Structure 1
């Protein structure tokens, strides 16, 4: 079976998606607190994470490691409203990026983003290591 990475169009398509998402997040009044300024490496890191999750190269794990993403989210105190808006903005970016309209593909991406946003929210609110989500590696998402 073709991976989500291949079906999406590979690295180039995912990079375009993450760039569109990031621009939307920077401009969104609900997400602005989480994305106050453009970070020069953020789109690349999002791309690496999504690519690896979707069955592409393992660059995120090799170059950053999962601890990196835990640390990035710690202390952000992501609210339910921000988490839900993140998902909405991300799913909107799929259309703008012209990723495949295939229903099964879109559902897999939606589930991935929902799951990831819950993990990020939990980690953002954790005051101790025990309160962190137990996930310690990039999840490998399939159809």
Structure 2
């Protein structure tokens, strides 16, 4: 079965999608304060994460610190529900703008991926101890019906 990464057009298409999304996040009044001025490596890291989650290579885990880096980055951010929902909204809008496939199976999987991920991020951002962290400790391989 074709992976989500392949269906999306591979890493180059995902990079364009993530770059579009990241630009919208930095300009957004709800999310801008969380991301600040941004980090030059963020597009590369999120592209590698999404590519791995969507069935592409495991460069995020092998070369970029793996899931522990995501836990570390989110700790203490205290992400609000409004910020989580806005992240999802901008993520899905970027899929349209970047021209990712619009078929129902892909978009449903994309939305379930970002909904799940943002809920994990919210939980981890409020964790005061390791026991309060979400139990996920590796990049999830996202399943879809495509």
Q: Deviations over 1:42-84 (max 9, x none)?
A: 0000000000000001001101121111001001000000000
| Partner residue, 1:99 | 100
- Alignment partner of 2:32: what SS? coil
| Partner residue, 1:140 | 141
- Normalising to structure 2: TM-score of the pair? 0.97
Q: Please list every run of 5 or more consecutive structure 2 residues that lacks an aligned counterpart in the other structure.
A: none
- Normalising to structure 1: TM-score of the pair? 0.99
What do you get for the CA RMSD once the two structures are aligned? 0.5
| Partner residue, 1:124 | 125
- Structure 1 segments of 4+ aligned residues over 3 angstroms from their partners: none
Aligned length: 143
Q: Please list every run of 5 or more consecutive structure 1 residues that lacks an aligned counterpart in the other structure.
A: none
Cα drift, residue 38 of structure 1: 2.1
Q: Deviations over 1:90-123 (max 9, x none)?
A: 0000000000111110000000000000000100
Whether 1:57 aligns to 2:64 is: no
Q: Deviations over 1:11-48 (max 9, x none)?
A: 00000000000000000000011111120100000000
For residues 58 and 133 of structure 1, the distance between their equivalents in structure 2, rounded to whole angstroms, comes to: 21
